[in-house]
Amino acid sequence: MRVVWLENVISALGLKPACTPEGDVAKQLFALNREEPNFPSLDEFNSACPTVPRIRDIQKNIDAGYKDFTRSWGDQIESFFDPLLDFLVWTEQLAVASPWWLTLILIVAVVYLMTRHWLQTAAVAVTMLVIGFFGMWDDSMRTLSFMLVCTVICIVLGIPMGIIMARSDRVRAMIIPILDVLQTMPSFVYLIPVVMLFGVGKVPGAIAVIAYAIPPVMRLTDLGIRLVDSEVLEASEAFGASSWQKLIDVQIPLALPNILAGINQTIMMALAIVVIASMVSVRGLGIEVLEAVNNQYLAKGLFNGLAVVAFAIMFDRVTRRAITQSQKHVLD
C-alpha cells in the first residue's frame, strides 16, 4: 500500500490551499509518493509545492544579504578595527625587533614570577633556546605576540562577561547558547564571514581566534563565582560589605583558580587554531606549517609543528602552576 506522505505533510502544515493547482492533485501536485520515502528535503517540497523555497535559493539569499551588508558597512567596520590592526602590527614588530637575549630574559622572569619554580623556569628557557637554534625564533615571536594580544582581548572581554553571567540568570540563559555555537562550530567556518568582510590579514585571523577561544574563560569565570559558598557571602554581608566589595574582595579571589583554568583553556584553544589562522595570512609558525603541508616538506612541518606543541606545553604547565599557587594563596 502506497503512503501519500508528502500530501499528508503539506496538508498538516496548512500549505495545501497555496499549492493545489487546478486538475488532478494526486498526479500533478503529489507525484513524489513513495512506499519508503527518505526524509523530505525542501527541494522535494518545492517540487510538489512551488511556494516552498529551495535550499539553493535560501543559501543564495543569505550570501546576497551578507554581501550587501559588507558593501554597506565594510569600510566602517574596518575603520573600527584599525586600532586592533595597528596594535597587532606594533606588537609583532616589537617582538621580532627586540634582542633575543632581552626577550628570553623577560620570558624567563615572567615564568618564574608566575610559577616560583626554578626547574620549570629552566625548562622554558631551554625550550626557547632550542627553538632559536632551529631557526624558528622570529616566527615564534610573531606567533607569541599574536597569541598574547588575542589572549589579552579574550581575558578583557571574557572575565567581565563571565561576571555578568554569574550575577544574572537571564543574561546567562541568553549567552550560553551563543557559547555553545562558538565552541562547536568547525573552526574553518569562522574564517568565511571575516574574510568576506575584511579580506585576508591579521584582523580576520584575530577575530577568528578570539571567537574560538573566548568561551572557556567566560564559562569558568561564571562557574567559579557561582561556586563561592553562600555562607561566605552571608558573612561578608553581615560585616556590611556592599555588592561591589563582595565581588572584588570575596567572589573573585575565591573564584581565581577557576578563572585561571579558563585562561589556560583559552590559551590552548587559541594555539589550536593558530595554524588555521595562517590560511588568512597570519604570519608565524602556522604559516610555515601550512607551507610545509602544501609542498610536502616533512621536516619543516615537523619542526614548526613541534614548536607549536612546545608553546602549548609551556603555556599549559606555567598556567597550571599559577593555578596551584593561587589555590595555596586562597587557602592561606
Residue ranges of domains in the chain, CATH in brackets: 5-52 (no CATH), 78-331 (1.10.3720.10)
Residues 234-257, mean pLDDT to the nearest whole number: 85
127 closest CA partner among 323, 322, 308, 320: 308
pLDDT given for residue 204 in this prediction: 87
What's the pLDDT band for 35 if we cut at 50, 70, 90? very low
d(CA 271, CA 273): 5
Q: Has residue 132 got a pLDDT over 80?
A: yes
pLDDT band, very low/low/confident/very high, at 1 (cuts 50, 70, 90) = very low
Percent of the chain past pLDDT 90, that is, above it, reads: 28
The pLDDT of 275-302, averaged and rounded, is 83
Mean pLDDT value of segment 137-160: 92
Place of cell 574564517: 191
Q: Are 258 and 179 spatial neighbours (Cβ–Cβ below 8 Å)?
A: no
List the one residue out of 148, 98, 140 whose CA is nearest residue 288. Answer: 140
Rg of the Cα atoms in the chain: 27
What's the rounded Cα separation, in Å, for the pair 282 and 200? 8
Rounded to two decimals, the pTM is 0.82
pLDDT at 273 over 90: no
Residue 30 has pLDDT above 70, yes or no: no
Amino acid at residue number 226: R
Please give the pLDDT value at position 13. 60
Predicted confidence at residue 27, as pLDDT, reads 45
Most confident of 45-54, 169-178, 189-198, 312-321: 169-178
Query: How far is Cα 332 from Cα 326, in angstroms, rounded to an integer?
Result: 10
